């Protein structure tokens, strides 16, 4: 079988690419310490913004957020059920309140269902 010059160049490119991918796979397989990020995070100490983000996370999942999300869901569903023929903006506001209430209470809903993360 006779190969054209274009086919020969393409075969060399594909071979070089496959060889490179195999090399990277071998490095990952046999030398995982090179790509492991074991020295970051907890070994250095607490990062300066962790306390502030923890406070925000507690505020978004605490009892106030739970009450606000419940109120927003009730208002959104009530407006959609008893609103009749709503104008476009009113219907959009009802859906926005319903979505915000659902998203705000998602952490509480998940914890109520008993879903937890992995424990090490």
pLDDT tens digits for 42-58?
Answer: 555 577 778 888 888 77
Element (H, E) at 72: helix 63-82
Contacts 24+ apart (CB under 8 A), 14-20: none
Q: Could you tell me the pLDDT band of residue 13, with boundaries at 50, 70 and 90?
A: very high
DSSP code of 115?
-
- pLDDT tens digit sequence for 52-78: 888 887 777 777 777 888 888 888 888
Structure tokens at 25: 């796979």
Percent of the chain with pLDDT strictly greater than 90? 9
Residue 59 CB contacts under 8 Å (≥ 6 apart), including other chains:
65
Phi/psi of residue 40, nearest 5 degrees: -105, 160
Q: Measure CA of the first residue to CA of the last residue in the chain; give whole Å.
A: 60
User: In the predicted model, what is the mean pLDDT of residues 114-118?
Assistant: 73
Q: Could you tell me the pLDDT band of residue 93, with boundaries at 50, 70 and 90?
A: confident
DSSP code of 2?
P
pTM (two decimals): 0.43
Structure tokens at 42: 């907890």
Q: Could you tell me the pLDDT band of residue 19, with boundaries at 50, 70 and 90?
A: very high
């Amino acid at each position: 079988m006779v190969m054209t010059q274009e086919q020969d160049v393409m075969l060399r490119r594909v071979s070089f690419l496959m060889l490179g991918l195999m090399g990277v796979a071998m490095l990952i397989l046999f030398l995982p310490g090179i790509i492991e990020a074991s020295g970051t995070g907890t070994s250095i100490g607490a990062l300066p913004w962790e306390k502030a983000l923890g406070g925000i996370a507690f505020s978004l999942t605490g009892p106030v957020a739970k009450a606000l999300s419940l109120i927003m869901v009730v208002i959104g569903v009530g407006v959609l059920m008893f609103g009749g023929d709503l104008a476009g903006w009113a219907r959009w506001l009802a859906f926005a309140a319903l979505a915000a209430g659902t998203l705000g209470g998602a952490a509480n809903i998940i914890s109520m269902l008993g879903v937890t993360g992995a424990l090490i």
